[in-house]
Structure 1
Amino acid sequence: MSEKAIRLVRRLQEGKFQEQLRRVDPYEIAMNRNRARYISALEEFRRLYGDRTVEIYSAPGRTEIGGNHTDHQHGRVLAASVNLDIIAVVSPTEDNLITLKSAGYAPVCVNLAELQPVTEENGTSAALIRGVVSELEAAGFSSGGFRAYVTGDVPGGAGLSSSAAFEILTGTVISGLYHNMEIPAQTLARAGQEAETRYFGKPCGLMDQMACSVGGLIYIDFANDPAEVRRLETDFEKFGHVLCIVETGGSHAEMTDEYAAIPAEMRRIAGFYHKEVLAQVEPEVFWRDIPTLRKQFGDRAVLRAIHWFGETCRVSAQADALEAGNFPEFLRLIRASGNSSFQYLQNVSSRRDPREQPIALALAVSDKILAGRGAARVHGGGFAGTIQAFVPEDLVEEYRKSMDGIFGEGACHVLRIRKYGGMKVI
């Protein structure tokens, strides 16, 4: 049952809601940190809107484990929600308006009677809110107004999908306030993808939203609709490795054109066969036709298609290796994935300024530190942003210090996989 914000603050201060906190992140230090975050968010909500009846929701960031740029061609991916999240303190209203204040940003207000895309909103949180609500209503899930204060620790533009987390948070709030948390995870994910593509103005696949919505470590095959989703019960720490994400100081938020060129070129190859995506093209036919394809579409488009065919097969092999407990084989496949992204997909550096290649530098330093152990690869969209590394436990501190020394304090995030996706916490 919902309670007034001031009462939730007191109960959190008294040590209540242990089970709810444990579901978000079971580590004691994380539970204490989240308790403090919720108290701070509740107090800010009261300052903005008064002492209203409220609920608290959370949506995690995500990490791409395998399947670099495969989802938009209906391929396969391994992805996981992580222990960095975005939270919202919300209160329902009857005015048919969504009024939202995010920490560090100006308030936004969306009238639910006006759900068509607004060109001037491209690239804004208002566009994402409008898009998510519109898509959920098209799927048969009505919405209603609410006031919200939002804050989080998912770095924006750093490859952990802060936009997807925000989309899933918005949908989860609607599911909790108006549908008893019964909107399916895949429906929320598709609403987020459509919002990002049609309203926000950034083309994307479905992996980010699916990982944020479903939660845990999941294998996804997008060949069919609905996608096949399988949870993998794997803890990297039991293999003596820690998952790290390194922010290299460059945001891919301004790389939309280069990012969009990847699916566009892959679709041109598919279009040669009168297909929409590469998943509908037979690999043997593609390899046979390379002489013709390169003349018509150029070598880069062919190389990116080569990456796709190899990468989507690697994902299945990665999942098999993890389920069999063969971690050395999993690491070998991660390295192969990174090499393919670097050589064929070509999303490690941007053409905007060849002097700046932070991802390539981070990978080079990772190779030096890991010295044949663990694995490192470009993460997410690429061109700027982040790398991902599986670091042996005895090297974690050295790795973190080295990366922070080059790319700035706090650049290296030591992450854990979060068991749950979008959720109502309290």
Structure 2
Amino acid sequence: MDLCSLIDRFHEIYGFGEIRKFFSPSRVNLIGEHIDYNGGHVLPCALEIGTYGLVRKRDDNNIRLASENFELKVEVNIEDLKYKSQDGWGNYPKGVIYFMKQKGYRISGMDILVWGNIPNGAGLSSSASLELLIAEIINSLFNDGRIPKIDLIKLCQEAENEFIGVRCGIMDQFAISMGKKDKVILLDCSSLQFEYIDININMNDCILVIMNTNKRRKLNESRYNERRDECKKALNIIKNYKDIDNLCQISIEEYEEVEKHIFEDCIKKRVRHVVYENQRVLNAAEALKNGDINRVGKLLVESHNSLKDLYEVTGNELDTIVEVSLEQSGCIGARMTGGGFGGCAIAIVKNDSVDNFINKVGTLYKRKIGYSPEFYITGIGHGTRELF
């Protein structure tokens, strides 16, 4: 569907009149998984696929939500914003609207139509994309664009944590809001200090391939929150020996000193992943700046193995697609990306090997799993914005 077709659909659903147009990207994380909520460093970027939103103000306090991705339509009054399971995808906009209202931002009724070309449940952050889309719409329509981006980012994270019930870190919302064309973001999730790193210049004739296992995932129905609890338990133990606020404040050497005080093997494994993954992100950022793409590829493989063996969030589908990817000539490195338990993996592939890579990985994955994966080669784009 293109934007003109979406405008036609808006007119069919809501009638004619002035429409404003917005876009919010999806994101992918190059490296640094399950450490944003542990205060670590991550290396995400915004993609050129995402969520489009068309909107028109209303004269009352009703908000009507429709999507071209789902049949379900939701109508709610801004004075009655509660999570309802029957409202499905509409709970994400409702959560953002609820917290914007709670924080005293101006808001009134709207007719909204959204359409996304992000694969649903693929781990490319379709939920955060939708959240930032709604936040930017409200900021632009009712608050003259004066709300700082960082406040919208934190608000959308709060909506997902408290309204939806997924205790995600801040990386997804940050990357989606702050994305820049052809840049990855080295983000310290504890301080929110960040820097942009050119990726296209330093990829050495390679391209990033996103691989959807087509095993759908839903974080609020997975073991995501369980992993957070395990990390919290580890932090409480380590605090008896180190003055820290999050797990990523300790170095590898410091962790090796305190590990003897952690008696549960599964907790040891979770912390070991977190601490070593944080260092891998810093190493990958440095390698990317230096154009050492082979080093980046090796770090991706180390990251996947750690997520498989220590953090235990991969599964047969993700392990299979990474395994068959690494068997192909021209593949520099591969790993799962996102929360895990299904969803997507990424691979760095030589430009002249991409077609052969996709064909062979697709064939081998289907032979082993029983159904086909999907592949996306999309540019790295700007963050959430109004379209003119």
Cα offsets for 1:55-96 (capped at 9, x unmatched): 110000100111111101111100001111110111111212
Cα distance in 2 between the residues matched to 1:45 and 1:182: 27
CA drift at 1:167: 0.5
2:381 is the counterpart of 1:423: no
Tell me the equivalent position of 2:185: 218
Q: Which of residues 315, 320, 325 in structure 1 aligns to 2:291?
A: 325
Q: Contact 2:222–2:341 (CA<8 Å) still a contact in 1? A: no
Q: Contact 1:270–1:280 (CA<8 Å) still a contact in 2? A: no
Cα offsets for 1:191-215 (capped at 9, x unmatched): 2211111111222111111111111
Cα offsets for 1:18-53 (capped at 9, x unmatched): xxxxxxxxxxxxxxxxxx611010000000011111
Tell me the equivalent position of 1:111: 77
2:196 is the counterpart of 1:231: yes
Please give the root-mean-square deviation of Cα atoms over the aligned residues, in Å: 2.1
2:326 is the counterpart of 1:367: yes
Tell me the equivalent position of 1:53: 18
Deviates more, 1:75-84 or 1:185-194: 185-194
Q: Which amino acid aligns with 1:362?
A: I
Cα distance in 2 between the residues matched to 1:58 and 1:92: 17
Tell me the equivalent position of 2:278: 312
CA drift at 1:328: 2.4
2:269 is the counterpart of 1:286: no
Shift of the 122–74 alpha-carbon distance from structure 1 to 2, 3 Å rule, reads farther
Tell me the equivalent position of 2:336: 378
CA drift at 1:324: 2.5
Tell me the equivalent position of 2:90: 126
Q: Which of residues 299, 305, 312 in structure 2 aligns to 1:339?
A: 305
Q: Contact 1:121–1:200 (CA<8 Å) still a contact in 2? A: no
Tell me the equivalent position of 1:26: none
Q: Which of residues 371, 374, 383 in structure 2 aligns to 1:411?
A: 374
Cα distance in 2 between the residues matched to 1:204 and 1:41: 31
3-state SS of 1:315 partner? helix
CA drift at 1:239: 1.6
Q: Which of residues 55, 70, 74 in structure 2 aligns to 1:90?
A: 55
Tell me the equivalent position of 1:395: 353
Deviates more, 1:132-141 or 1:46-55: 132-141
Tell me the equivalent position of 1:176: 140
Q: Contact 2:296–2:333 (CA<8 Å) still a contact in 1? A: no
Q: Contact 1:252–1:384 (CA<8 Å) still a contact in 2? A: yes
CA drift at 1:221: 0.2
Q: Contact 1:273–1:281 (CA<8 Å) still a contact in 2? A: no
Cα distance in 2 between the residues matched to 1:285 and 1:365: 36
Q: In percent, how many aligned pairs have the same letter?
A: 26
Unpaired runs of 5+ in structure 1?
1-35, 350-356
Q: Contact 1:122–1:199 (CA<8 Å) still a contact in 2? A: no
Q: Contact 1:97–1:109 (CA<8 Å) still a contact in 2? A: yes
Cα distance in 2 between the residues matched to 1:144 and 1:246: 40
Q: Which amino acid aligns with 1:414?
A: I
Q: Which amino acid aligns with 1:389?
A: A
3-state SS of 1:369 partner? coil
Q: Contact 1:92–1:145 (CA<8 Å) still a contact in 2? A: yes
Cα distance in 1 between the residues matched to 2:285 and 2:219: 32
Tell me the equivalent position of 1:154: 118
Cα distance in 2 between the residues matched to 1:377 and 1:255: 22
CA drift at 1:312: 1.0
Give TM-score, length-normalised by structure 1. Answer: 0.82
Q: Contact 2:64–2:112 (CA<8 Å) still a contact in 1? A: yes
2:24 is the counterpart of 1:65: no
Shift of the 370–206 alpha-carbon distance from structure 1 to 2, 3 Å rule, reads farther
Q: Which amino acid aligns with 1:174?
A: I
Shift of the 151–399 alpha-carbon distance from structure 1 to 2, 3 Å rule, reads same
CA drift at 1:122: 8.2
Unpaired runs of 5+ in structure 2?
none
Give TM-score, length-normalised by structure 2. Answer: 0.90
Tell me the equivalent position of 1:39: 4
Q: Which amino acid aligns with 1:391?
A: V
Q: Which amino acid aligns with 1:291?
A: K
Q: Contact 1:124–1:200 (CA<8 Å) still a contact in 2? A: no
CA drift at 1:136: 2.6
Cα distance in 1 between the residues matched to 2:262 and 2:292: 38
Cα distance in 1 between the residues matched to 2:45 and 2:186: 9
Cα distance in 2 between the residues matched to 1:122 and 1:370: 47
Shift of the 238–379 alpha-carbon distance from structure 1 to 2, 3 Å rule, reads closer
Cα distance in 2 between the residues matched to 1:145 and 1:206: 28
Q: Contact 2:208–2:346 (CA<8 Å) still a contact in 1? A: yes
3-state SS of 2:30 partner? strand
Q: Contact 1:42–1:89 (CA<8 Å) still a contact in 2? A: yes
Q: Which amino acid aligns with 1:136?
A: M
Q: Contact 2:203–2:288 (CA<8 Å) still a contact in 1? A: no
